[in-house]
Amino acid sequence: MASHRKWSPPGTRRTGIRTPVLATAALTSVALLSQTANAAPPAEPRPSLEEVEKKVDDLYHQAETATEKYNATREKTAKQRKRVDSLLDDVARRTEKLNTAREELGSFAAAQYRTGASAPGSASLLLADTPQDYFDQTQLMNRLTTRQKAAVDDYVTEQASTSKKREEASRSLRTLTTSQDALKTSKADVQGKLAAARDLLSKLTADEKARLAAIAKKKREAADREAARLAAERAAAEKKARDTAPPPGTSSGTTGTSGTSGTTATDSAYTAKAGKAIAFARAQVGKPYVWGATGPGSYDCSGLTQAVWKAAGVTLPRTTYDQVNAGTTVPLSAIEPGDLVFFYGDISHVGLYVGDGMMIHAPKPGAYVREESIFYGGESIIHSVVRPA
């Protein structure tokens, strides 16, 4: 019997049936889509060496800024802690005095109640939680002598004063807690910036690190040339001042060559102090930069300048933000050895000028106290020059 099924040519599709050719194509498409979906995202382009250098410099600058904020917060916290300790000691002494007087008051009140006679001993330390109310209620106030009544009044006053001291101590404790929290935040900020800088540097190849060192060397050479230029200009200015100076024994009406008020370049007392500061600074060269450190084994930038001027008998504040106001501001053209050079718009770095366009400073984490040109980052980052003492 002949078949009634209709013949279909190879490669065509009937209902519910996919031919091998189309099935293979579909499977291939699915596989490609799956591979695309599971593929890793394209890697970000590797930053150039110049970009890495700038990023690292920015991170170190941010770390220094955070360090100075940390220093300011730590100093504030230390002062608050001393105040809290003093208040708590005062409250403890007052409380002990009140407790002793309370015991005497109890004996005195009992004697008055039983016999109407005064208790032996001095009544100058009478004390109770509510003495006035107690004596009013028992009518003992009428039996007190003038001196005893004065003692009760003194107690009431002292008790109120002690209560205020307790409140003041409580407020100071709350402020101290807030400062301690801020200190932790500042510390974490510094550590975060430094970790990010180390991470960037760790990803450099040996060749890239060598190239980065070569770039840094060129910058140092350029900075040294700028230092030499400044030294030559200062030498020319000093020579001109000497050549135009009046003969010995005559008065010129001026006290120095810097053109500024206050301490001047010809101030022998300042020169002597600056010499001591510089000598101390040179002895610190080679010691590591450690953020928050004030010596003697390590320093941060403002910790170093504070220490060197302390060696010269001059007390400077702890942070760059305060040191910049601790003296007379002079123009860069009038800079003298011993002056402080501040950097960046946020005044986050400082160094001690030692002459010839050079300074001694604690540069940054991972570096050591060293002498280098004040133009190490270009003249544009120099904020101001201050003459302390």
Residue where the block lists tokens 């002056």: 339
Catalytic: 349?
Answer: yes
- The side-by-side arrangement of strands in the sheet containing 382-387 is 328-330, 382-387, 340-343, 349-355, 358-361, 370-373
Catalytic: 4?
Answer: no
All residues at 6 or more sequence positions from 40 whose CB lies less than 8 Å from its CB, including other chains: none
* Cα 56 to Cα 384: distance, rounded to the nearest angstrom: 24
Catalytic: 301?
Answer: yes
Identify the active-site residue in 4, 61, 301, 383: 301
Identify the active-site residue in 4, 61, 361, 383: 361
**Ordered DSSP codes for 166-224:** HHHHHHHHHHHHHHHHHHHHHHHHHHHHHHHHHHHHHTS-HHHHHHHHHHHHHHHHHHH
- Identify how many contiguous H helices and E strands the chain contains and give both numbers: 8, 6
Residue 349 β-bridge partners = 343
- The amino acid at residue 49 is L
The closest alpha carbon to 184, from 74, 83, 81, 293, belongs to 74
Residue where the block lists tokens 């060197």: 308
Question: Angle formed by the axes of helices 49-115 and 206-243, to 10°?
Answer: 80
29-41 in b/e burial notation, b at 16+ Cβ within 10 A? eeeeeeeeeeeee
User: β-strands 370-373, 340-343: how paired?
Assistant: unpaired
**Cα dihedral 69/73/75/79 (nearest 10):** 160
Catalytic residues: 301, 349, 361
